[in-house]
Structure 1
Amino acid sequence: MAGTRIAALGHYQPARVLTNDDLASMVDTSDEWIRSRVGIRTRHVAGPDEPVDELAAHAGAKALASAGLAPADIDLVLVATSTAIDRSPNTAARVAARLGMDSPAVMDLNVVCAGFTHALATADHAVRAGGASRVLVVGADKMAAVADWTDRSTCVLVGDGAGAAVVEASRPGEEPGIGPVVWGSVPEMGHAVRIEGTPPRFAQEGQAVYRWATTQLPPIARQVCARAGITPGELDAVVLHQANLRIIEPLAQKIGAVNAVIARDVVDSGNTSAASIPMALSKLVARGEVVSGASALLFGFGGNLSYAGQVIRCP
């Protein structure tokens, strides 16, 4: 079976920026309290007239333009999101309609913060198996719409945005650009991160998530590298789910990626759930902080206490 590659990336964030000082006027918190605990300075927040599929379509359009492709070139659209309001049409169908696509297969994946890496693996498998030729993979979430703005432990975390990747078969003679996925979950701890109720609200057991992420995930991330045939010390970049800077930094250190650029987009974007990894990766590439062909560990984790990771080559 042929390997696959990421041909291009794109990202999008709403215009409105919510600062820590803005939050301090809404809930009992402060800039110092937020920075010291989660490392976040600002986050982007979508308005009521900016649905998740609009954010996703903007990111997808940028990825298509960067790849030099037309909407008709895509035959599968995968959208990772946990904040879509409607059940049908799904978000992927609405994204395809916004972009003017012809007749792609359209699927949503709800694996919360690990959604993009699950969707990327699904795209990789689809192309390898011959079920698709080019796939638009989008992670998009509107976490501000499900935030409890009276809970300072969670509302300070969240932001909105979308990131996208175009996945296609590797070129002849080219090494695969998307490595094998390692994925799984801890179902008995699924309650630790949740979006539940009517209306749905985001809540989590912060200490339990922190302990799980910083103790249980490093060996799994090293397993991702081993399956890709690379050591952590050889990685050029590490793009973890942008949950909290106090999780990202110790986790990256425990993985052993001593020479890698570590994505810290959470500082300016907050926790954007499924959007966080593709958005952070797209920014690293756009800023030239990683070069074409550079190796990057992508590792998502969070809701359901799910995780998924793969090593990719940057477009």
Structure 2
Amino acid sequence: MTSASFALLGAGAALPARVRGNDEPLFEPLRRAAAEGGGEVALFYGNRERRVLGPDESLASLTAKAGAAALQVAGLKASDVDRLYGYVSVSEFITPNALYAVHQELGLGQGALVVPVQADFVNFLMGVVLAWEALRAGSIRYALVAVGAAWTRNMDYTQGHAIGIGDGAGAAVVGASEPGGGLTLVDWAADTFSDEYGAMTMGARPESGLGYPTYGLAPTGGIKAFLSSGMNGPPRLVERLLAKHGVSRDDVTLISHQATRKLMDHWAQAIRPREYVDTFEDFGNMVHASIPVTLARFHHRLRTKYLVMVGLGIGAHQMAVLVRV
């Protein structure tokens, strides 16, 4: 599974202009619940701001901007892209996914295959792995992995997890690299917790009077999954991946899923990386876009020998990717 010849050649991000702070009237029910203490709202905290797409702004366009930025960093053109992996969520239609609109806005060639990866919240990491496998098979030369999230439009703002949600898009180019060029892909690992299927979902919630698909945690199973596999799964996964390659924690920078400081602080203590970088305070929980947006901000400033990116999803599943800097 290992290889030293393929890398992340460039990363880019795009964020909406509108800033929503914690003092927004929208969050008043959550502020009252937090003052009373306990419940789901006690699990989600730590961000100061988040970015929000306006009602007439396009998430596909935002995702295309992130993709164009990644191509520019990599020194490539749209015509160089053989395959587009990623996901736009929540998409304009149930199907097809708006990743096809990203293909159009970027001006990718007709021969560039579009591969929507519905694996919330590890869409980006899974897209990177799938692109890497296609590269190793010799099927393509360059792939673009682009993801966009606008879940602020799909929240029940009486629920605790809604406090952190923000919108954003991130992307990366994957391709062959010269020695020392780009962030070299080393290995990946994944775990599946299918017994947690249904614990966290995006779906219709007529009982709440919401006429649009809405994200939510199941009353019992959601919190249980959060506190068990959510808290402890990523540290175990990262430990397994580092041990396989004899990599010391002191040589690692960590980028993770960014849902709440409760998870992130626990992961920091359990994994103990040399550095742990994030964009959570400024941009909140951008669900599957948090990792690539953070990568775009920090990839030129990594100071350790290795980077580990780890995320979790609501399948339920978790994935980690090891990269040599």
Aligned to 1:298: 309
Q: Percent identity?
A: 26
Classify the secondary structure of the residue corresponding to 1:156: helix
Task: Give 1:188 shift.
Answer: 1.3
Aligned to 1:231: 248
2:216 to 203, 220, 225: 203
Q: 1:211 to 1:232 in 2, by over 3 A?
A: same
Alignment of 1:29-108 (within 5 A): 29=31, 37-103=44-110, 104-108=112-116
Mapped pair 1:244 → 2:257 = no
User: Amino acid of the residue matched to residue 14 of structure 1?
Assistant: P
Q: Which moved more, 1:20-29 or 1:72-81?
A: 20-29
2:18 aligned to which of 16, 19, 25: 16
Contact 2:203 2:215 in 1 (8 A): yes
Deviations 1:59-112 (A, max 9, x none): 001111111111001010001344213244433321111011112110111111
Matching residue of 1:311: 322
Specify every segment of 5 or more residues in structure 2 that has no aligned partner in the other structure, as ranges: 36-40, 205-210
Runs of 4+ aligned residues of structure 1 deviating over 4 Å after TM superposition are 23-26, 30-37, 172-176
Tell me by how many angstroms 1:124 deviates: 0.8
CA displacement, residues 233-272 of structure 1 (integer Å, 9 cap, x when unaligned): 221x100111111101211221132x22x12311111111
Calculate the TM-score normalised by the size of structure 2. 0.86
Q: CA separation in 1, counterparts of 2:26 and 2:33?
A: 7
Query: Counterpart of 1:116?
Result: 124
CA distance in 1, matches of 2:98, 2:270: 36
**Cα RMSD between the aligned structures?**
2.5
Question: Which stretch of the first structure deviates more once superposed, 12-21 or 185-194?
Answer: 185-194
CA distance in 2, matches of 1:176, 1:22: 39
The one of 274, 277, 297 aligned to 2:288:
274
Q: Secondary structure at the match of 1:180?
A: strand
| 2:10–2:182 CA contact under 8 A, matched in 1 | no
CA contact (8 A) 1:193 1:302 kept: no
Instruction: Provide closer, same or farther for how the CA distance between residues 163 and 176 of structure 1 changes in structure 2, counting only shifts above 3 A.
Output: closer
Deviations 1:30-63 (A, max 9, x none): 7986899421111101112223211210100111
Give the structure 1 partner of residue 165 of structure 2.
Answer: 158
Q: Distance in 1 between matches of 2:278 and 2:42?
A: 13
Deviates more, 1:33-42 or 1:224-233: 33-42
Letter in 1 for 2:271: I
| Secondary structure class of the residue paired with 1:50 | coil
